[in-house]
Structure 1
């Protein structure tokens, strides 16, 4: 046949198959609907995945639009200058980004999302923060901010709908100085500098996350286009009876699959639009996106629209490659040929061949070959899907005896285990990938988590005061000490001392009560009026007892210090000052210089280098931490209430984990829904058999149990295979990331249990349709 003739034959037969799918009465519509729903769910998740890059780019673009990193600055007030200060805080585990604004001229730049500057004491808040402040849960935060809401920040000034942001008008802000980071004088906003690239270990985690989340989608789409296989075989045999040859019926079968895939594309687009509307109400780890940001790139949409129908046709033709379709039936009605193992082992062995040589290698430039790693992971996980049908066939083939429900389930799997294996393959891949991810995350967390040196057992919070607000330090300390939930509050002030001014490398004198100074040195006997020299510092000999020095902000000249509200005074180090050994303070810092009690300390220095209060909390008292933050904010809006932690992880890891949770939630919904759709399709195909068994006296409970066993047995084998494959893949990837291999069996059991629980839920949801299919009217036929 010539090329044009073959094209016409393909077009004719594909069109006929589409007509069978769409115009075959109630049976055809239901079959196409089930296929379309299964494919549509996968398409929707693929579209969301292709839209993620654009959503992240939009978030970053809006974040850059309000960024102060790289913003143009001015040295003196002008008609286009704006004083802006950071007032970030945390409220009950949620980050609240705050800025204090003081325009110095009519041309001062207005932050994105605002039409005008808030008046002094007035607030402009994000919609999410407004809702929080109006709710009972936001009472303490409402007390802290203590301002009237005059405006709501628009979308242009937010990275996501769940972001908590506020701008507050200020009467005045302290003058800026070189090195100041909390108060800046800017003439505009500018994009932030390019972010640092992820480390190779985190890049490996991102790559595995994408593979582990998207591969189950592909497995489910492939399973969905093969639904209704038994009824399709009967139709194809009927076509052979009226004269169609084998190639024609295969092309007609491909046309039916093509129609189901086309319906899936339509339904998937609808699911995507609905899901995009719901995305705005979702927030995970305070990361959210606006629905409008989920806009897939046209090229990726075209790729999905082309790949899904092509995959449907290819999978159908591949499925029928070994099936002999005769006028009176198909070869599948006879005992099927035993599945072969050799080619199924090639896939995981190929994956091992790609990954094993990379493990433990010292990467040039700190990079690794993403293509080899991605290909190896894909081959290993796809190999799991290829091994499961063979494993299921071998296991059920040797089973004999047992209760009636068990025998019915086993016999059904012995006759045709393919549909059950296809339904479970998605769970197997998802659980195997999740186990590998959890293992890698555990290793990466240990590798990217560093010791901070802070000691939370000595102080829960360190309140760092802004320069110029030290006069209220003692009052703040007393106020914090009387706050419910506070065990003790220890205030300390630090000023510089030097023999001459300016002196950038001058030692410090730390001022506080004996109880406070005991946090930073081994004092021994102490009373008010004592002064101590700290041993072991690089500037230990810079100041000696009896020396006459200058105290205050000695890093800059006296004129510069006076312009900023400070001054330097002369001070004589007491001749009786004792030398003591320093000890790390609760933040892990080892101090140098001098220690002085209040009565012996330099007076009227005007400005300290910095001041802080160490606060120890009683964890049994609720909201003690929030009350401390509120008191610190009211004393100085620029104060930083830093929660002390013994360890700190890489800043990029929480974002990767949040992305994993978002994707895992979508895959979990897809798995459950697709399982339910596949289960209902299988029950619909066997409704006459079920009704006949009930008519012959089989108890309904027995049939319900048989359906459960028929699903549970493949799932149990799939989960065992997933546990083995996941731990093996995780060990390989941990070796690749050069982190110690450690299997957390609790996580493995939790993930496999989640898969089993999902199957149990799907089985329960399928019981009402199953009971309806057992009615006597299920014996009717058209």
Structure 2
């Protein structure tokens, strides 16, 4: 068969779809909407790599953190930057204080001029929050006058909270990142970290698990209206077309719907792209310009979708005999074969099993085997479900009238019922596998911080010792604070320059020191020695009374001369650390304030540990306001027993965002599919009503027709998802464990989508169950 014949037959099918009257148009529009929703998600997914790249580039372009023992010299092209990050409930607020030191001082991205002291420029989202009643407490923390907004190049997301404020009391310190001197913004020395093989593998699995249901739905969408189409094609057999030509014409009709679906999907994508800048999902927001898919991926989608429509239609037409006098579909079809359906998941497992036990210590995972194995296992769900539905419904027996109507319909068209829930089943299988994988490896990306949230709720790191007296006075009287303890820490060396031995020094009043160690008695001027478990003999000797040491002992020639000598006083007593000490690894010397030599306080780091009364609303916000009042450069952060890897957390957040989008589009596509099924059965429903069948019975029959394949699909999805999740955990060298609550929640989410779709289809169903539906033209 030459290419000209194929083109002519496909073109004839396209013309039939376009000029086939109301029925042809309705079918093509339904197909286009179904395909368009899938294309929308495909385009959004192809744009995702660019979203991640754009956010990373924006973040790098505004980087201003440096860690150096030497402060760069002041010049005409330097600017001082102070960290002023804060938090509003669960949202981070990125804050910077700026002090230009010359006419050529660099501006941060998105800012066209430096704000003067007492002024600030803010992101659009922060400006909206500050002017609302909701942001009253945050406004107290940021009293500067708003004089402008930060442009898009200076933000990583449309809903990001950020500000740049002018300041005139910034002084850089060696070894501190609280105030830094810059000649340019951006991290030009950044070296890429070694990629974590497990995270790369998880990323691949996330993409495959999210995209496979979309492909399944597109394949189902191009078969909308199949029964009516096949009856129309019977007329072509009367005028002399053979079976192959008829199938190609049918493929042409599907091609028309797919091409229109590409256009619809592109429109949906452009609308969604524009709307993306106004929404925030799980704390993540983007700009529309980020959603810019690469040309190669767009071309791939544009070619693959129509090609898949033709291939799926030709494959489906193999089991249909379109004859001149009708369609031989009502005859009992041959039973579906199981063996080739089992080959798909078996081949997927065969591709994944060689990587079992690989973990992160045996190099990277083979990307092609990971993608291929996961894809075959998920596609195996789509292949096995029609066989499972057919095998089960063939054995279903008697029951109420609604049940018998549903069972008979399923027995006649089990393939159609399976196609409707295929996407849900594939999505649930992937979700269960991913949930198992993320839950199983969570401990590998979670670290114990050593902090006890019962001992302290919030830690405030002050930028300067001059703020410590005000902090010790203000925090205890802050609303929502049960207790506040101020502690300073540093070190003492045995030599002025390049000390060979150092010991930790902790400074606080008696009440503060009692939060760390068991003190027999204490008054201002006392000094205590706390031998740790790992102190060397030299360190223990440096802690003895009469030994000479130096605060702020230096390691760099450029900063010598600021060392402060001190002699460990007589009467220093040894004490033991509390098991529930406020700080971890307490050791060295504990000193009350009056025993500290003059000037030594400026060499220490100062913290205030706050215990909140959680029954007071906004207690943490009141603490942050106090911190900003006593020290604008103070850093406030909550204590937590554990902390998670940012890359792991970002990937998990991306999974949740993607899963939400997939579920929404799956629900929309399923609703279109349900409406198409009801439209094809309109005359049958009207006939049953005309003969006296109750509407309640017909409504229940439709519900049963959905419930049976959905139940079977979720059962199959759970089995395959558990198997895939177990293999993926073995690949990461992690013990297999099943969180049954999560498995049930994933299955419940899939069932919930189907239930919502069924409820939304009830009004059209009631309208179709009228005798007027028998009218024809």
Q: For the superposition of Structure 1 and Structure 2, which TM-score range results when normalised by the shorter chain? A: over 0.9
Structure 2, gaps ≥5 residues long? none
1:44-59 correspondence runs (5 A): 44-59=40-55
1:730 aligned residue? 725
Structure 1 SS opposite 2:335: coil
Q: Are 1:40 and 2:39 an aligned pair?
A: no
2:524 aligned residue? 528
1:432-447 correspondence runs (5 A): 432-447=429-444
- Indicate which of 327, 333, 336 corresponds to 1:339: 336
- Distance (whole Å) between structure 2 residues aligned to residue 558 and residue 307 of structure 1: 65
Of stretches 603-612 and 673-682 in structure 1, the one that deviates more from structure 2 is 603-612
What is the Cα deviation at residue 489 of structure 1? Answer: 0.8
The verdict on how the C-alpha distance between 1:559 and 1:521 changes in structure 2, with shifts beyond 3 A counting, is farther
Equivalent pair of 1:240/1:327 in contact (CA under 8 Å):
yes
1:673-752 correspondence runs (5 A): 673-752=668-747
The verdict on how the C-alpha distance between 1:587 and 1:110 changes in structure 2, with shifts beyond 3 A counting, is farther
Equivalent pair of 2:282/2:657 in contact (CA under 8 Å):
no
Structure 2 SS opposite 1:167: strand
Equivalent pair of 1:454/1:586 in contact (CA under 8 Å):
no
What is the Cα deviation at residue 570 of structure 1? Answer: 4.9
Structure 1 SS opposite 2:502: coil
Instruction: Show structure 1 runs of 4+ deviating over 6 A.
Output: 70-74, 556-559
The verdict on how the C-alpha distance between 1:417 and 1:476 changes in structure 2, with shifts beyond 3 A counting, is same
Equivalent pair of 2:83/2:97 in contact (CA under 8 Å):
yes
Equivalent pair of 1:459/1:586 in contact (CA under 8 Å):
no
- Distance (whole Å) between structure 1 residues aligned to residue 277 and residue 181 of structure 2: 35
Structure 1 SS opposite 2:453: coil
1:374 aligned residue? 371
What is the Cα deviation at residue 585 of structure 1? Answer: 7.5
What is the root-mean-square deviation in Å for CA atoms of aligned residues?
2.1
2:387 aligned residue? 390
The verdict on how the C-alpha distance between 1:71 and 1:493 changes in structure 2, with shifts beyond 3 A counting, is closer
- Distance (whole Å) between structure 2 residues aligned to residue 463 and residue 273 of structure 1: 45
Q: Are 1:540 and 2:539 an aligned pair?
A: yes
Q: Are 1:213 and 2:210 an aligned pair?
A: yes
- Distance (whole Å) between structure 2 residues aligned to residue 772 and residue 561 of structure 1: 88
Of stretches 156-165 and 504-513 in structure 1, the one that deviates more from structure 2 is 504-513
2:416 aligned residue? 419
Q: Are 1:555 and 2:551 an aligned pair?
A: no
The verdict on how the C-alpha distance between 1:489 and 1:598 changes in structure 2, with shifts beyond 3 A counting, is same
- Distance (whole Å) between structure 2 residues aligned to residue 15 and residue 573 of structure 1: 95
- Distance (whole Å) between structure 2 residues aligned to residue 70 and residue 316 of structure 1: 60
What is the Cα deviation at residue 582 of structure 1? Answer: 3.5
2:477 aligned residue? 482
- Distance (whole Å) between structure 1 residues aligned to residue 317 and residue 334 of structure 2: 14
Q: Are 1:491 and 2:492 an aligned pair?
A: no
1:78 aligned residue? 75
Structure 2 SS opposite 1:507: strand
TM-score (norm 2): 0.95
Equivalent pair of 2:158/2:285 in contact (CA under 8 Å):
yes
Equivalent pair of 1:347/1:380 in contact (CA under 8 Å):
yes
- Distance (whole Å) between structure 2 residues aligned to residue 12 and residue 500 of structure 1: 92
- Distance (whole Å) between structure 1 residues aligned to residue 35 and residue 42 of structure 2: 10
The verdict on how the C-alpha distance between 1:419 and 1:499 changes in structure 2, with shifts beyond 3 A counting, is closer
- Distance (whole Å) between structure 1 residues aligned to residue 521 and residue 664 of structure 2: 66
Deviations 1:614-653 (A, max 9, x none): 1111222222112112211221222211321111111101
1:110 aligned residue? 107
Deviations 1:16-73 (A, max 9, x none): 1111111111111101000110000001111111111122222222222211357999
- Indicate which of 746, 751, 756 corresponds to 2:751: 756
Structure 1, gaps ≥5 residues long? none
- Distance (whole Å) between structure 1 residues aligned to residue 381 and residue 543 of structure 2: 74
TM-score (norm 1): 0.95
1:130 aligned residue? 127
Deviations 1:291-341 (A, max 9, x none): 122111111111111111111111111111232221112221211111111
1:184 aligned residue? 180
- Distance (whole Å) between structure 1 residues aligned to residue 585 and residue 204 of structure 2: 41
1:300 aligned residue? 297
- Distance (whole Å) between structure 1 residues aligned to residue 541 and residue 171 of structure 2: 32
What is the Cα deviation at residue 209 of structure 1? Answer: 0.7
Q: Are 1:629 and 2:628 an aligned pair?
A: no
Of stretches 523-532 and 722-731 in structure 1, the one that deviates more from structure 2 is 523-532
Deviations 1:126-179 (A, max 9, x none): 1111111112221111111111111100001111111111111111211332x2
Of stretches 456-465 and 105-114 in structure 1, the one that deviates more from structure 2 is 456-465
What is the Cα deviation at residue 281 of structure 1? Answer: 1.5
- Distance (whole Å) between structure 2 residues aligned to residue 291 and residue 581 of structure 1: 59
- Distance (whole Å) between structure 2 residues aligned to residue 60 and residue 9 of structure 1: 51
What is the Cα deviation at residue 445 of structure 1? Answer: 1.0
Of stretches 50-59 and 73-82 in structure 1, the one that deviates more from structure 2 is 73-82
The verdict on how the C-alpha distance between 1:558 and 1:308 changes in structure 2, with shifts beyond 3 A counting, is closer
